[in-house]
A and B are shown apart, each in its own frame.
Chain A
Amino acid sequence: MQFFKRTIFTISLLTCLSSIIWGNNVQVSNVSFNPIGNAGQITFDISWENSWRQGINDQYHDAVWVFVKFAPNGGPQWLHADIQVTSSGSNIEVLEPNDLKGAFIRRANQGMGTVPVSSVTFDVNNNTGLYPDFKVFAIEMVYIPQGPFYLGDGASDGRFHVGNDVNQPYLVTNSAALKIGTSSTEINSLVNTPPIDIPATYPNGYDAFYCMKYEVTQGQYIEFLHTLDRGQQNNHTATDISGTNITNVYVMLNSTTNLGRRQGIKCPAILTTSSPVEFYCDFDNDNIGNEINDGQNIITRHVNDDDYYAYLDWAALRPMTELEYEKACRGPLPPVANEMAWGSTVFTNFNTLDITNPGSPDESVSQAGTSAGIISNNSATTASMRAGFAATPSSSRTLSGAGYYGVLDLSGNGNEVTISAATTGSLHFTGVLGDGMLDPQGLANEADWQGRSEMIRGLLSTGSNHTVSDRFSSGGLGSPRIDIGAIRGVRQF
């Protein structure tokens, strides 16, 4: 009977999800600020396409994480604003977190489709100083609801499993501590075994959270850099940009050229002595920045630990744990041996010649829409693609490469950096959220994030190709900038 209940449960979930679509094209515009005393109100318009809000208790929905930065006295320092909603259009619902570091905006009612342009006004609670500039940032997110899920798939390298059977996935049923051991009620793993029980304070994926739908793009990373002073910027580029004459203008590669690495973030060859650098994208290396085909929507790679943590702290998000990663991929479904994020072992490699409209907002591959599980062969020339490149107007979960809830690129494109469960230090991570502010060097300063090690997930590795449960690659990004990781954050609400 349990079998049938579980089957029916699965059917009902899929009925809800069968019409889920992948949202995109968030737009923020018409930002204005009305000073009131030392603070004031900020108003802007927001819209996005292909939103959804469905299921019992709205368990399936997308949302946009918005946050505000301001620069008193014309900068160069940008500060994070604490905001509280005062009014919003009827098409949207604003969810305010307790820390006021931003807000989630989702469609007002159940349904799907475009969220039309809607105005929203927030009180800014900070002393904004004289002559402040304001920037509003919006990041598309997907809700991962509370609920049980499986860890491990019985096949992948280093996978989690039930303590007494390496072939049995472990079912996480609550957010309590997970006991490490060799009995049928305990959890264990093939390699990188947690040295202590997984504490209840370590986000184990059972509780709900929002996950960035895509990895950080190059245009997005540039906007992050543009809120930093020159010294801080220099800590988040591979090229040393402290001088005034720059040879290696492709700053994430520390190179004079793009060299087919698909990382087109560039700086001018001549810089002023100390003011912030105005970066731009020049994917096609024609010295004309930010053209339509200059790769603004390609994900940012060649980041190191400092970049990864700083971006998430700056955006008032946090890193996800490797357990949350499996939840975001698999959802409540039973594991499939060696499955990738789209719930299947089927995949399709592409190569450079398959890329269509390279660098453009609609960059894709020729197999898009017809082949399942499209992933790079991981060469330098294909490893970084437009965020969500495989999705098409009619793509399914497998065709678009989406996780169960609609998060894109969890297997393939950039690899996923997660807080590891393999070290005692990392297991003491409690999921503290970024506060939007960095230290004077431009580095993350959340004490909860210090001394953590990472597990790279969704990785191409020998024997288990981008599989959800592969946890062979511990150790994280490290300091050298190599073509491994990308940036993706989460936030609980």
Chain B
Amino acid sequence: MKLTFILLMLATAVNAQPINYSGGNGDGSFVAILIDNGSLYSNGFSDGASTAEYKSSGSVYRGGSFDGFNTSNLYNPNSFYAGADSDGFSTDVAYFYFVWDGSTGTGWNIASNWQTNAIPTEERRVRIPAGVPSFPYLNSGTLKVGSDTGTGTFQAKEIIIEPGALMIARINNFIENYGLICIEGVLELRNSNPLAFRNLNEATLLIKSGGELRTNY
């Protein structure tokens, strides 16, 4: 009696969720395994490896790839899958920046003008913030920005001049950018030589909204 009840319940479940094997939208949420008379798996339920879980005499199988075995699709009408940016991966970075503090004066190559109390080299990312006692003045020589650029009088891997900040390249100074210079404040070029500032090797000069590159000197 109990067995019959379970059978009835199962049959009801199948009938209530019709299975569509043609791959359309009517996929049932109930998985049944169809038994096909020509199936390799028609040898009963007791061998421990049978795939025949439910024999549906009232199968709604309607053709398609007739392989004798099939499952219904797992249909989830309430899926929240957004369908975009689904690469399952993200990364974020926190770089260490050498931050200018200008507590001693305007000299780039003076360690005490940097929060780290060390002079940046070509491996270092640099930030020039606003609100410091003095801003950096680059005197004669070349500022080389970017890794593996060879010796420069002044060096950094990347420079960010923050809003309200100022960096001045004086009349005898040259800048070669192989990396990234981002201007959110002001970069003032006082050398009128056409080669006073060069972007090289696909370097990036980024002047953000509000940033200024002053060259009329």
Contact = CB atoms under 8 A, between A and B. Distances in A.
B91 A136 contact: yes
B124 interface: yes
Contacts of B90: 26-28, 137-138
B93 to A, nearest CB: 5
- The interface centre, meaning the residue of A138, A169, A334, A388 with most chain B CB atoms within 10 A of its CB, is A334
Interface string B151-175: 0000001000000000000000000
B111 interface: no
A22 B76 CA distance: 10
Contacts of A75: 123
A155 B40 contact: yes
B40 A393 contact: no
A214 B88 CA distance: 6
A400 interface: yes
Nearest to A213: B88
B48 A171 contact: yes
B91 A138 contact: yes
Interface string A59-84: 00000000000000111100000000
A339 interface: yes
B98 A339 contact: no
B184 interface: no
Interface in B127-177: 146-149, 157
B37 interface: no
Contact of B88 (A28, A338, A371, A388): A388
A24 B96 contact: no
Contacts of A139: 88-89
Contact of B87 (A19, A214, A371): A214
A450 interface: no
A329 interface: no
Interface string A337-368: 11100111110100000000000011010001
Given A26-B89, A336-B33, A361 B84 contact: yes
Given A131-B96, A154-B40, A334 B76 contact: no
Interface of B: 3, 6, 10, 13, 21-25, 27, 29-31, 33, 39-41, 45-54, 64-65, 67-71, 73-96, 98, 116, 123-125, 146-149, 157, 178, 201-202
A214 B81 CA distance: 14
A140 B47 CA distance: 38
Contacts of A477: none
Interface string A7-33: 110110010011111111111111111
A257 interface: no
B88 A398 contact: no
- Interface of B, helix, strand, loop or mixed by DSSP: loop
Contacts of B6: 4, 8
Contacts of A213: 88
B124 A74 contact: yes
A336 B51 contact: yes
A133 interface: yes
A167 B41 contact: yes
Contacts of A155: 40, 67
A443 B39 CA distance: 48
B67 A345 contact: yes
B125 A74 contact: yes
A14 B73 CA distance: 11
A118 to B, nearest CB: 14
A241 to B, nearest CB: 13
Contacts of B79: 21-22, 50, 392-396
A273 B148 contact: yes
Contacts of B85: 24-25, 297, 361-362
Contact of B31 (A10, A169, A184, A368): A10
Interface of A: 2-4, 6-8, 10-11, 14, 17-33, 42, 44, 49-50, 73-76, 112-114, 131-140, 150, 154-155, 162, 165, 167-171, 184, 212-214, 216-217, 219-220, 223, 268-276, 296-297, 333-339, 342-346, 348, 361-362, 364, 368, 370-373, 386-388, 391-400, 408
Contacts of A136: 91-93
A370 B73 CA distance: 12
A375 to B, nearest CB: 12
Contacts of B27: 372, 396, 398-399
Given A21-B81, A272-B146, A220 B89 contact: yes
Contacts of A396: 27, 73-76, 79
Contacts of B98: 131
Contacts of B65: 345-346
Contact of B53 (A7, A135, A345, A408): A7
A275 B148 contact: yes
Nearest to B27: A396
B21 A346 contact: yes
Given A17-B74, A21-B78, A113-B80, 6 more contacts: A44-B92, A50-B80, A214-B87, A361-B85, A386-B87, A396-B27
A1 B22 CA distance: 32
A24 B47 contact: no
B79 to A, nearest CB: 5
23 contacts: A10-B31, A10-B53, A14-B29, A17-B74, A19-B78, A21-B81, A22-B79, A24-B86, A74-B96, A74-B125, A75-B123, A131-B124, A140-B89, A223-B89, A272-B147, A337-B40, A338-B67, A346-B23, A362-B84, A396-B27, A396-B74, A397-B73, A399-B73
A337 B67 contact: yes
A6 B27 CA distance: 22
B23 A372 contact: yes
